[in-house]
Amino acid sequence: MRKTSVVTVLCLIGAGVAMAQQPEVRRTFAMSGTFELGGSASFSSYTQVYSGATGNATYSLAFSPSAGYFVIDDLELVVNPLTVDYAWSGSVNALSLMPMAGVAYNFRANPRAFPYLEGVAGFAYDRSDNGITASITRSGLAWAARGGVKFLLTGTAIVNVGVQYQQVTLNQSGEAERTGYNLIAVTAGISFWL
């Protein structure tokens, strides 16, 4: 009985030493439990749609802060708390505010490059002015699909470049045809992961 107790104690001590020597898993970007905080800017040209008819090209500059949380490896819940978009075409200008949220999947191309696909949707508020009549305010729904690559600059800093397609619908009550705009943009941003 005494020999069995000594052997059991020695086995437990050996197991404890072996477990203590196991290397700690090094956290990397896109691992479960990782936060990503940052933002992006984009320049685009889009085409206005009014009552089903397509209009002239309009130019747009947008800024979008973002936050993400990886619920499992590579799958990220994304929140864009308030995208601000300013657009102009001749004497017409418009300001759009869009809070959106969605998901992104980050692929592991190598330890420093992560191609990604992202989809977000949310609410849109738009105020436009043509310099002649009173300003027009509309609200509706917005969604966007993005794809690109995230590159690690340092241990925690990431540069993001991509392409985005966005559709905003700003119909007023009773309108049968879609009113809003379609947007294709090149985006660039920086973020940090924790």
pLDDT attached to residue 33: 93
Q: If we measure between CA atoms, which residue out of 138, 143, 117 comes closest to residue 128?
A: 138
Residues 6 or more apart whose CB falls under 8 angstroms from that of 100 comprise 79, 80, 83, 120, 121, 122, 123, 142, 143, 144
Give residue limits of the domains in the chain. Answer: 29-193
- Looking at residue 104, its amino acid is A
Position with higher pLDDT, 37 vs 185 = 37
**Could you report the per-residue pLDDT of 110-131, keeping only the tens digit for each?**
889 999 999 999 999 999 887 7
Q: What is the pLDDT of residues 15-63, one digit of tens each?
A: 565 555 556 556 788 899 999 999 999 887 767 677 777 777 778 889 9
Largest Cα–Cα distance of the chain, in whole Å? 99
CATH architecture for segment(s) 29-193: Beta Barrel (2.40)
